[in-house]
Chain A
Amino acid sequence: MAADKVEEKAEKKIKMIDVYVMGKHYKAPEGLTIQTALEYCGYNVIRGCGCRAGFCGACGTIYSFTYDLTIKYALACQKEIEQNMVIMQVPFFPSIEAIYNLEDLEPEEGKNRLVELYPDLITCFGCNNCTKTCPQDLLVMDFVSDALRGDYEKVYEKSFDCVMCGLCAARCPQGIQPYNIALAARRLRGSYLTPAPQHNLDRVKEIEEGKFDVELKALKKSNEAELRRRYAEREIEPAL
């Protein structure tokens, strides 16, 4: 039954659609992503390709349509091609990151580390281009204003899924670097602003003191049959 269905579907011809790679016309099968369409058209990419799964931000792309020149943004590996799409890769965009030493940045009451590092922050006039640009659909302008207020926690929450493609900075008329600001905020939060994991620190100390060495040494020496027995008999903690 299943095999019949495959055949039935296979009879449907794939639709070839028109795309324009940096203005040059090609036909590519519907359903390809911008990344695979570029390859289908014969481009062998060096820059502008990374994880191919939407995590690394290497393939920031701008596109428009032959009939609509409004610029739109996407990750090339995640966006399907559409009829009459005009594709432009953005393989590199210069960015400016503040220089800091995390050790010197311990947050203090009344001090906004983010404005100290990125004084340009205060020049945001709320055009919201950054949010409209974000291929992860993050509320970029919102976390820029959270950063302005020194609310590291909110910046962390709203920016956490950032893939650092840099398209927000590319579009900011004020030259603000939302993705780099958010990175600094998150590192500050991670390093300073959550309570210490006492159980972890205790375990690190126990290991340093050699608490498990005797048992590990014995296990390492035991033969395979003994190891297998211990393995089979080990108690498995239920999932949370």
Chain B
Amino acid sequence: MPYPASMEESKRKVEETRLQRLEKGPCERIDEAERERLVGKFHPDYSKEQFREIKLGPNKGCSAPLEIADVLEGNSRVDPDKVDLQNVDYDVDVLIIGCGGAGGSAALLAEENGASVLISSKLRLGDANTIGAQAGTQGCDRAKDSPVMHYLDIMGGGHFTNNPDLAEALAKDSPDAIRWLEELGVNWDKETDGSYHELSGGGASRRRMHSCRDYTGLEEMRVIRDEIRQRNWHERKINWLEFEPAIELLVDDKGQVAGAVLMNLETRRMTIVRAKAVIMATGGLGRTHIQGFPTTNHYGATADGLVLAYRAGCQLVDIDTMQYHPTGAVFPPQVLGLLVTEKVRTLGAEIVNCDGEQFAHPLEARDTEASAEIRECKERGKGVITPTGEVGCWLDSPMIEIKRGEGTILRELPAMVRQFSRFNIDITKEPMLVYPTLHYQNGGIMIKADASTPVPGLFAAGECEGGVHGRNRLIGNSTLDLFVFGRRAGRAAAQWAKEVKLGKLSLGHIRKWQRELKEAGLEKMPVSPMLLPNYSNQGKPVPGFHPLGQESPYTPFGDRAIRWI
């Protein structure tokens, strides 16, 4: 009996209403005006007290989540007076900071375009949010589809706040990104004639989601990582450093970005890299646990790239908007916050409340779906409460088996089946309990369509960059973003490296930053980038980390509490 008795009664109601709901079909989608009212009232992006003004830097006066404002205003880990920039450890054309899907594809393209490449990876090569991406990658390659339709969906999904040039690039490059990955050896789900098996997704007007079972990101990352290694072993000019993240960018005396200071996480030694171009590909920020939300993100998702680029003078766009994935697992507590792929809904599962009633179309855009769940639980009191005090709605996965035939779930969602069966929940027969979880940073470093930033020599790709998705990203467009802008950044950086003449290396921008911190009275701010969350506390429970049954409603299982490393 996987679900406790307190949840069984509600689960039974879901089962009782299932056939009736199947007959009736999903409820109507809400119109644009209603959607804006719903999101404005219930989405965490609109909890004013959770935001504050940034006090210095290019976004001075802009609003940001408290946790992000804190890291952006952090002090440097580097003392400019004590770093010897004469002793350069690596001298390369292109330095890539971060090695998920974006950094990886940037590395491959930069190398193909003649640059020598060094990758700095905070964890292992390929340890990134990419690897946990499940549902798929959008690509407008069916006859019924077009980049025009894709563009409209991207813009609408982002509430028309996107940068049109970036949205256009995303749509137009998408079929080629899919083709490129197949050429490298990615196994897309296909029909017998070779055409792609494509699914629909929230906010998409066409079926254009390419998937590899529900291990899409894992498959993409395994292949890209292997290609990087193979090229290195063939003595091509591509190399990497693991457990050695960047802690500051370097500039030259002309104000061009000219490399970075890396830190070996284990020995704490610094490494100086001189590079003619730098590509920022550090991914997201889920491990800052904005508003205390649990997250789907990997261990290293701590906004490092935002911090480094910001100090070097890059403006951030839409940094006050995060994506809360509507279906984060709530039960059992061991999986709290982990991603339940949207593909579950794409395949036909509905989200219902404690009485088994539908309250929103299952394929609304993510902000809308998440807001509807929060309303259902917080305002209407129709959520299901778990023994550890969490609240959630049911995601009725067994509907898929009835709609599409027995065996569909095991075939299409093996990762989800495995995840829940480890805790004795059979998602082919039982629904899952879900609630919004911190999933994605919609905005980020401002770039142009060639992935260049306003700071010469600095490029950005993937989740750390912003503007392409506006204030809300659609399913399947994040992994697409990695390959579209990763490849664009790789090409553009290699080209830049051919033309640029570097001057003398400097940390002048950090001296200036520290002066500004002092003037603003902020010199006591903790250092950033954060690098890793600290979940340990020398054996004592950290705040918000109480064992079940003590004063806090928080469970000891979620990754909620953090401190500075």
Q: Which residues of chain A have a CB within 8 Å of any CB of chain B?
A: 2-3, 5-6, 9-14, 16, 26, 29, 31-33, 36, 38-47, 49-56, 58, 78-80, 97, 99-102, 136-137, 156, 160-161, 163-164, 183, 186-191, 194-204, 207, 212, 215-216, 219-220, 224, 227-228, 230-232, 234-240
Contact = CB atoms under 8 A, between A and B. Distances in A.
Interface in B338-391: 338-339, 346, 348, 363, 381, 385, 387-389
24 contacts: A9-B388, A14-B547, A32-B557, A36-B557, A38-B536, A40-B541, A42-B538, A53-B298, A54-B422, A56-B127, A58-B127, A78-B419, A80-B334, A97-B233, A102-B227, A160-B213, A190-B186, A197-B141, A200-B196, A220-B164, A228-B156, A234-B152, A235-B205, A239-B199
Contacts of B172: 207, 212, 216
B207 A46 contact: no
The 7 nearest A-B residue pairs measured at CB: A195-B194, A187-B185, A231-B156, A190-B187, A39-B535, A9-B387, A42-B539
Contact of B266 (A46, A51, A78): A46
Nearest to A193: B187
B182 interface: yes
B474 interface: no
Interface residues of B, number: 111
A204 B175 contact: yes
B179 A231 contact: no
Contacts of A14: 547-549, 556
Nearest to A41: B539
B536 A42 contact: yes
Contacts of B243: 46-47
Contacts of B193: 195
Given A49-B299, A191-B182, A160 B127 contact: no
A90 to B, nearest CB: 13
Interface string B151-182: 11101100010001100100110011011001
B548 A239 contact: no
A204 to B, nearest CB: 5
Contact of A190 (B171, B185, B298): B185
B146 interface: yes
B371 to A, nearest CB: 19
A35 to B, nearest CB: 9
Interface in B231-276: 233-234, 243, 265-266
A11 B149 CA distance: 55
Contacts of A53: 132, 296, 298, 335, 338-339, 419
A10 B548 contact: yes
Given A216-B148, A220-B168, A58 B124 contact: yes
B557 A31 contact: yes
B141 A29 contact: no
A216 B266 CA distance: 50
A97 B229 CA distance: 9
A227 B385 contact: no
A52 B129 CA distance: 10
A237 B198 CA distance: 12
A102 B299 contact: no
B537 A6 contact: no
A162 to B, nearest CB: 8
B179 A200 contact: yes
Contacts of B557: 31-33, 36
Contacts of B23: none
Nearest to B385: A2
Given A41-B539, A51-B298, A52-B338, 10 more contacts: A31-B548, A38-B536, A46-B243, A53-B132, A102-B185, A195-B192, A200-B195, A204-B141, A237-B200, A239-B200
Contact of A234 (B192, B205, B537): B205
Contact of B223 (A9, A54, A187): A187
Contacts of A101: 230, 234
Contacts, number: 272
Contact of A219 (B132, B151, B199, B419): B151
Contacts of B233: 97, 99
Contact of B389 (A6, A44, A49): A6
B549 A207 contact: no
Contacts of B196: 197, 199-200
Contacts of B123: 47, 49-50, 58
Given A42-B536, A220-B164, A237 B143 contact: no
A161 B415 CA distance: 8
Contacts of A137: 418
A205 to B, nearest CB: 9
**For A47, A196, A200, which residue has the most chain B Cβ atoms within 10 angstroms?**
A200
B510 interface: no
B436 to A, nearest CB: 17
A198 B195 contact: yes
Contacts of B434: none
B282 to A, nearest CB: 15
B215 A55 contact: yes
Nearest to B178: A200
Contacts of A10: 389, 548-549
Contacts of B299: 45, 49-52
A186 to B, nearest CB: 6
B280 interface: no
Nearest to A10: B549
Contacts of A2: 381, 385
B330 interface: no
Interface string B205-235: 1110000110101110011001101100110
